[in-house]
Structures are given as C-alpha cells and as structure tokens.
Amino acid sequence: MRPRLVIAGATGVLGNEVLRRLVGLRLFGTTQVLAREPITAGLRGVGTTVVPGDDPAQWPPGAADTGVVLFDPPRLFYDRERALWTPVPQQLPALAGWMRRSGVTTLAVVLPHAQGRLPEALKRGLANLDEHAVAAQGFERLLIVRSAQKPAAVASGNWLVALAHWMLSIFKYMVPSSEQPVRSAKVAEFVAAALQVAPPGIHVAAPETVWRAAQGDLRMAVRQWLGA
C-alpha cells in the first residue's frame, strides 16, 4: 500500500509547485490538503481535509504517513488558495504534534524560497521558528529545507577587486542563470527528491545547499547532502 500524504500550506507559487510535483510522482496513495472550507481540488487524486479552527492542538487526529508544511501566503486572486489553510510559524509545533497523532512518520518543513517578498510579520516568525520542538516530536524522518540562498562571497581587502565588483554590478540586469534566485520549481524538485531517498534521522538543508543543488544535477546533490 502506498503511503498517504497530507500537506499544510499548499498555497503560493511554492506550495502549488510542491503539491503538483509530489502528486505527479504517484508515490502516494492519497493526498490531502488542509483547508478552511470544502473545496474541489484541481488535481486528480487530491482531496481536502477541513480543519476545525486555527489551533492544531484541538484537531481530531487524521490519517497520514508523510506530512509537508509550507508557509507561503495564498495568492489572493486564487479562490481555491484563499480557501486553503496555511500555518503561521507559531503554529508549527502544534501542527507537528497533530501530524504525529495522525500517524505521520516523515515530515518535511519547507521555508519560502523567496523570503524577501514576504510580509515582515511572517519573516520575523520564520526567523524564530521552533525547530527543536518539532524535532522532539519523534518523527522517524524530519526534513527542514531552508530558503535557497547563494553562498556569500569571500570578502577581499584588495581595492582593485572591490572596484571590479562594483563595475560589474552596473550590469546586474544581465544576470546569468546561475546568479538568479532559485525558482520555486527547483525547490519543489529538491523536496520531492529528498522525500524519496532520505534515511531515518533529522536532516537540515542549509540555504547554500538548496542553492547549489539547483545549479546542476539536483538529485545527485540531494543524495550527497543526505549521504544516501
């Protein structure tokens, strides 16, 4: 029997990409997205679970094996996304507890891929995300995927190097693909690959890990990160 999947926060560009990617792999027997009200899902094999309020600690247990949590706000011009339930960072420990009560043994927590576009309140919440409380829930596999970010350049005291960087910055509108922010589709691919090969344990993908993986053979980079 294929495992059952539940997704909290299947909203925004990233949430939509992750949902489509995981459903397309056909690894899961059923896929449920958490919603505030009944809606008709747009993908075959995807259903909705209407949550009874905003406190996951009060929800009755569901039934799932794998859980994914995302924090991208819904796009307000999408009626379906406005009806979905999206967690805020402060709800993560309680949400993780609900998932454990629901039978989830593998949990992936995915931070927004472009935090610079988020509301300030959400950015502050993500900065204080209580990952230790989630790890203490006893998941067999816990994946935390941080926002993709290019590794910082090594500072140089050479003024000629600094001048060269400044001159090149004038032409920043001619940005090569390797310098551009990681697309949400690549982050979704990273998450899907990690869920397929991750061994038991807690695995945290640093921003630089996600960024580097998106620049080349992504599946190989995920395997190297996980030692799989």
171 vs 164: which has the higher pLDDT: 164
**Greatest extent of the chain over all pairs of C-alpha atoms, in Å:** 63
Query: 4-152+181-226 — its CATH code?
Result: 3.40.50.720
b/e map 20-34, b = 16+ CB within 10 Å? bbbbeeeebeebbbb
| Structure tokens that stand for 24 in this block | 């397309």
201-205, strands of its sheet edge to edge? 46-50, 30-35, 4-8, 66-70, 106-110, 141-145, 201-205
What pLDDT shows up at residue 30?
Answer: 93
Tens of pLDDT, residues 25-43: 999 999 999 999 888 766 7
Q: Three-class SS of residue 114?
A: coil
pTM score of the predicted model = 0.85
Q: What is the spatial distance between Cα 45 and Cα 47, in angstroms, rounded to a whole number?
A: 7
Percent of the chain with pLDDT over 90: 59
Asked if residue 223 has pLDDT above 80, the reply is yes
- Whole-number Cα distances in Å, 88 to 6, 17, 55, 173, 193: 17, 19, 11, 34, 25
Q: pLDDT band at residue 177, thresholds of 50, 70 and 90?
A: very low
| Structure tokens that stand for 223 in this block | 């395997």
87-91, 134-138, 175-179: lowest mean pLDDT where?
175-179
Q: Domain extents for the chain? A: 4-152+181-226
